[in-house]
Amino acid sequence: MNVSEKIAAVFRCKRYGELKGLILEIVHDMRNLSPDEKLVPYEAFEVVGITRPDEELAQFWIGDKEYYYFQKCKGAFEAFKSGDYRQSETLLLDAKWDINEWALAHYLLGLLYMEERRFKDAYDQFSEAVLYEPYQTRPMAILKDLMLLVLKNFQEV
């Protein structure tokens, strides 16, 4: 399994021992990543529901502000998929400007920074996401911890 596949597997882990072992493998493998190898799997987006059709996302829209927030996050996801990381970042920063205390934009920005190997920025965004997300913190917390281990591990190099 490559690193992206291992990260996808992390979201499916049920037992702590298995999860811990997989995270340590990922950290080890990240030392030898080629700069063009993709890190972020599709499952990282799927676990927070951003891959759903707009009709399903509409249940979260209370008013115009929320509608535009989700549209920016969805647009950022599409830009990320197409490799337009600048556009993705711009949309997510705009979404955070609209509603900073919602976790989704922070989490997606963490994924973007992770893909760009900006691990400290990714850690900061995942940390914010964990603070703001009341229900679905598991994927955010896992990636936050992964980024912390990466940062600690890479300082030793």
Taking alpha carbons only, the member of 149, 122, 151, 124 closest to residue 21 is 149
Instruction: Catalogue all structural domains in the chain, each as residue range(s) with its CATH number.
Output: 3-155 (1.25.40.10)
In angstroms, the Cα distances linking 137 to 85, 112, 148 are: 24, 18, 16
Mean pLDDT for 26-51 is 89
Q: Please check whether residue 139 is in contact with residue 48, taking contact to mean a CB–CB distance below 8 angstroms.
A: yes
DSSP 47-107: TTTTTS-HHHHGGG--SHHHHHHHHHHHHHHHHHHTT-HHHHHHHHHHHHHH-TT-HHHHH
pLDDT tens digits, one per residue of 62-119 = 777 888 888 999 999 999 999 999 999 999 999 999 988 989 999 999 999 999 999 9
Q: With bands split at pLDDT 50, 70 and 90, how would you rate the model's confidence at 154?
A: confident
